[in-house]
């Protein structure tokens, strides 16, 4: 059975590969594959800009697309000698649309030292990955670099986001990170693009990205968002939570109920796990994990989240948390049309919050 690639492995491999490109340690073949297009495009763009200088690229760098080409033509391109400079660079984009891609083995089994072939194969376009049992794939492993891009889980995005911001020379507070993640979702390319826009917009002496910056430059309300809703619910501030819910009801496209429920479920799941560890410490005499250990136990993004949860967990008891999780499951189904009772999503959210608060 093929080994499953974890996001952490993907990130480490990505960083190592980018460092090799920066140091001009090139491989004759790059097979960039997987379901997270951001990493594939970033590596391809880095190679495209790094291997040849601007003058050489005009003669020796060719970009072809899978839908508009065929394996035989690509093999012939790869066998050409460079007109000037050290390398002929052939970039195959959207390789998942190339008919009979396995026929590239006629080149990849014996690549030329003067050619660098970059193959970008995005699984998400066809819902399936490249067959790793083929001679083509095995020859890429033997003679080149194979990179598998893995989409992060929700809780893994935060670490990547913090690292990307720090790489740009900035830091961000917890609310800014939550607002950005809510606005963009799990799209790493869009996240990177929004951060790049922030870096251009902020003044030279500003290095901390705050919720004010997110509101000013990206246009997300710092008062009405799911981060603030979770905060109001955690603190049992029913009036504030209902005001936010009313805003969501008037802007359903910007605040889909399924996403709101998912994030609320994550909050109550974290509180439930924290309550369990507190119970173990009280009743069983088990040592309470420190904040760093709790981050892992409850899958919190950072120590700030842990501190906020610990400060407010006393507002909720175990049965209340357990019932809230059940209500969230029920209303998730109702938001998808199961026994909705004729209520729209805004009314469903208000009803859900009232039931959670009135326990």
State the SS3 of 263-322.
HHHHHHHHHHHHHHHHHHHHHHCCCCCCHHHHHHHHCCCCHHHHHHHHHHHHHCCHHHHH
With cut-offs at 50, 70 and 90, classify the pLDDT of residue 3.
Answer: low
- 226-255: pLDDT as tens digits: 889 999 999 999 999 999 999 999 888 888
- 177-229: pLDDT as tens digits: 888 887 777 789 989 988 998 888 888 888 999 988 888 888 777 788 888 99
CATH class of the 226-357 domain in this structure: mainly alpha
Higher pLDDT, 2 or 117: 117
- Answer whether residue 337 shows pLDDT above 90: no
Quote the pLDDT of residue 251: 86
What distance in Å separates the CA atoms of residue 172 and residue 215, rounded to the nearest whole number? 13
Nearest alpha-carbon partner for 150 in 18, 8, 15, 47: 8
Phi-psi region of 185 (alpha: psi -120 to 50; beta: other; left: phi over 0): left
Q: Let me know the angle formed at the C-alpha of 230 by 226 and 232, rounded to the nearest 5 degrees.
A: 115
Residues of the chain with CATH 1.10.8.60: 154-218
Quote the pLDDT of residue 124: 59
List the structure tokens of 216.
């000013």
- Answer whether residue 345 shows pLDDT above 90: no
What distance in Å separates the CA atoms of residue 194 and residue 187, rounded to the nearest whole number? 11
Phi, psi for residue 147 in degrees, rounded to 5: -120, 130
Looking at the DSSP assignment, which residues form a beta bridge with residue 120? 32
Q: Give the helix ranges, DSSP H, for the chain.
A: 7-22, 37-50, 54-60, 71-78, 105-108, 135-143, 154-167, 174-184, 188-201, 211-213, 226-234, 238-250, 257-279, 291-298, 303-312, 318-335, 345-357
- 258-299: pLDDT as tens digits: 989 998 999 999 999 999 999 988 888 888 888 888 888 888
- Which of the four CATH numbers 1.10.8.60, 1.10.10.60, 3.40.50.2300, 3.40.50.620 does domain 154-218 have? 1.10.8.60
Residues of the chain with CATH 3.40.50.300: 7-149
Quote the pLDDT of residue 1: 43
Residues ≥6 apart with Cβ < 8 Å to 66: 92, 93, 94, 95, 96, 97, 98, 101
CA 336 from centroid of its chain's CA atoms: 25
Q: Let me know the angle formed at the C-alpha of 103 by 102 and 108, rounded to the nearest 5 degrees.
A: 85
With cut-offs at 50, 70 and 90, classify the pLDDT of residue 126.
Answer: very low
Quote the pLDDT of residue 253: 85
Phi-psi region of 94 (alpha: psi -120 to 50; beta: other; left: phi over 0): left
Question: Considering the entire predicted model, what is its pTM?
Answer: 0.71
Range in 22-36, 316-330, 334-348 the model is least confident about:
334-348
What distance in Å separates the CA atoms of residue 320 and residue 317, rounded to the nearest whole number? 5
Q: Which fold does the domain 7-149 belong to in CATH?
A: Rossmann fold (3.40.50)
Dihedral over Cα of 74, 78, 81, 87: its sign: positive
Residues of the chain with CATH 1.20.272.10: 226-357
**Percent of the chain having pLDDT more than 90?**
58
User: Burial level of 103, CB count in 10 A (0-12/13-18/19+)?
Assistant: middle
Strand 115-122 and strand 208-209: the pairing is unpaired
């Amino acid at each position: 059975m093929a080994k499953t690639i974890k996001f952490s492995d993907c990130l480490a491999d990505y960083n190592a590969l980018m460092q090799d490109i920066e140091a001009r340690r090139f491989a004759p073949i790059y097979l960039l594959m997987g379901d997270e297009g951001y990493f594939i495009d970033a590596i391809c763009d880095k190679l495209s800009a790094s291997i040849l200088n601007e003058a050489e690229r005009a003669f020796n760098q060719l970009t072809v697309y899978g839908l508009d080409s065929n394996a035989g033509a690509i093999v012939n391109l790869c066998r050409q000698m460079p007109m000037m400079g050290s390398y002929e660079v052939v970039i195959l984009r959207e390789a998942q649309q190339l008919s009979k891609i396995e026929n590239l083995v006629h080149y990849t089994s014996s690549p030329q030292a003067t050619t660098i072939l970059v193959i970008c194969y995005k699984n998400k376009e066809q819902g399936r990955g490249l067959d790793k049992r083929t001679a083509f794939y095995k020859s890429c492993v033997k003679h080149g670099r194979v990179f598998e891009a893995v989409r992060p889980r929700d809780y893994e995005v935060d670490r990547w986001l913090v690292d990307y911001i720090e790489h740009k020379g900035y830091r961000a507070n917890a609310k800014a990170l939550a607002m950005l993640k809510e606005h963009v979702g799990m799209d790493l390319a869009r996240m990177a693009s929004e951060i790049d826009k922030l870096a251009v917009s902020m003044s030279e002496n500003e290095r901390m990205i705050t919720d004010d910056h997110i509101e000013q430059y990206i246009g997300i309300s710092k008062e009405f968002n799911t981060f603030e809703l979770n905060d109001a619910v955690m603190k049992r501030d029913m009036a504030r939570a209902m005001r936010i819910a009313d805003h969501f009801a008037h802007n359903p496209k910007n605040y889909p109920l399924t996403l709101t429920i998912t994030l609320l479920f994550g909050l109550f799941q974290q509180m439930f796990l924290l309550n369990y560890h507190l119970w173990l410490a009280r009743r069983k005499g088990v040592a309470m994990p420190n904040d760093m250990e709790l981050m892992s136990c409850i899958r919190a993004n950072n120590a700030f989240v842990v501190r906020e949860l610990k400060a407010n967990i006393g507002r909720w008891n175990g049965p209340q948390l357990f019932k809230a999780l059940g209500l969230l499951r029920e209303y998730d189904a109702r938001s998808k049309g199961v026994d909705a009772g004729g209520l729209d999503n805004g009314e469903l959210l208000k009803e859900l919050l009232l039931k959670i608060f009135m326990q």
